[in-house]
């Protein structure tokens, strides 16, 4: 009788724990590579204007030293890059057209990971919007020319851990009409779901 009771208790506890486990939400981070996209939903990052973006290590008109970047230090060995200039004379592809990278994701946190040039003097002003509302920029404050001593890999240029759990659109902008030169090297986007 005692044994039966303990057997019952054991299975009851086990059952109860399984129920609790299945109702507790577990968050996981999903890495969306710039080139290979979302491994779960298979959606891709959309780049516009498409012809102004290139895949590592190519980067038309990017500053000297970009060829020294090591693909092995980037997520999946790739990044998407674009050099923006308002000046047609710069030779930049689609001069004056801001560069955009857009991702649809379902989650409640987001991290944008870029490779950053050795000097903040090479403007890398990025703007971030979620669902059409501007939510941040990089650098967060107006940049003072700082020598970082080399290219920086895996820099989280924007993160937001207080997004309502739902489907969202993230839009990254580099360069603005009549604005200064800008460079973006997007490595990956991580979201929690
Ligand atoms: C997702 O990654 C970020 C940045 O590395 C980390 O701070 C966070 O704890 C991770 N979240 C989960 C659910 O693993
Ligand atoms: C880089 O550019 C070269 C020359 O235009 C081209 O042959 C090559 O396919 C490009 N590589 C990538 C990864 O786009
Ligand atoms: C990208 O990298 C991740 C983590 O290292 C790996 O699991 C995945 O298979 C890679 N994807 C491709 C397409 O190489
Ligand atoms: C940064 O850019 C400004 C304006 O183009 C220039 O005058 C200055 O010499 C630059 N500084 C460095 C450290 O490159
Ligand atoms: C995070 O995203 C939410 C919802 O889109 C927004 O209201 C909030 O301002 C963002 N916070 C930061 C720190 O970017
Ligand atoms: C990007 O953000 C900065 C700082 O908030 C702002 O001055 C600039 O106008 C923004 N650019 C665009 C194109 O929204």
Q: Which two tokens stand for residue 22?
A: 């299945």
In the chain the domains, ranked by start, together with CATH numbers, are 26-192 (2.60.120.260)
Query: Is the shortest distance between the CB of 55 and ligand 2 below 6 Å?
Result: yes
Query: pTM score, two decimals?
Result: 0.84
Beta strands 182-192 and 152-160, pairing class: unpaired
Looking at residue 19, its pLDDT comes to 45
Q: Which residues of 136-159 are buried (b: 16+ CB within 10 A; e: fewer)?
A: eebeeeeeeeeeeeebebebebbe
Q: Which residues of 68-85 are buried (b: 16+ CB within 10 A; e: fewer)?
A: ebeeeebbeebbbbbbbb
Measured in Å, residue 74 CA sits from the centre of ligand 3 at 11
Measured in Å, residue 110 CA sits from the centre of ligand 6 at 20
Ligand nearest to the CA of 63: 4
Looking at residue 66, its pLDDT comes to 81
| Tens of pLDDT, residues 80-121 | 999 999 999 888 899 999 999 999 999 999 999 999 988 766
Residue nearest to atom 7 of ligand 2 (CA): 58
Contact 86, 96 (CB under 8 A): yes
| Tens of pLDDT, residues 151-166 | 899 999 999 999 999 9
Greater confidence, 88 or 64?
Answer: 88
């Amino acid at each position: 009788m005692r044994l039966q009771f303990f057997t019952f208790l054991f299975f009851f506890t086990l059952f109860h724990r399984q129920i609790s486990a299945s109702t507790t939400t577990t968050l996981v981070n999903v890495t969306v590579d710039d080139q290979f996209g979302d491994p779960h939903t298979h959606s891709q990052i959309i780049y516009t204007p498409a012809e102004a973006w290139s895949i590592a290590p190519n980067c038309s008109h990017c500053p000297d030293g970009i060829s020294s970047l090591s693909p092995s230090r980037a997520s999946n060995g790739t990044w998407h890059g674009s050099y923006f200039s308002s000046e047609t004379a710069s030779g930049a592809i689609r001069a004056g057209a801001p560069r955009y990278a857009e991702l649809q994701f379902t989650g409640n946190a987001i991290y944008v990971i870029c490779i950053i040039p050795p000097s903040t003097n090479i403007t890398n002003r990025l703007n971030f919007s979620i669902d059409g509302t501007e939510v941040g920029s990089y650098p967060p404050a107006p940049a003072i020319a700082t020598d970082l001593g080399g290219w920086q890999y895996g820099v989280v240029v924007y993160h937001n851990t207080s997004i309502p759990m739902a489907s969202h659109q993230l839009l990254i902008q580099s360069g603005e009409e009549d604005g200064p030169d800008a460079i973006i090297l997007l490595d990956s986007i991580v979201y929690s779901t």
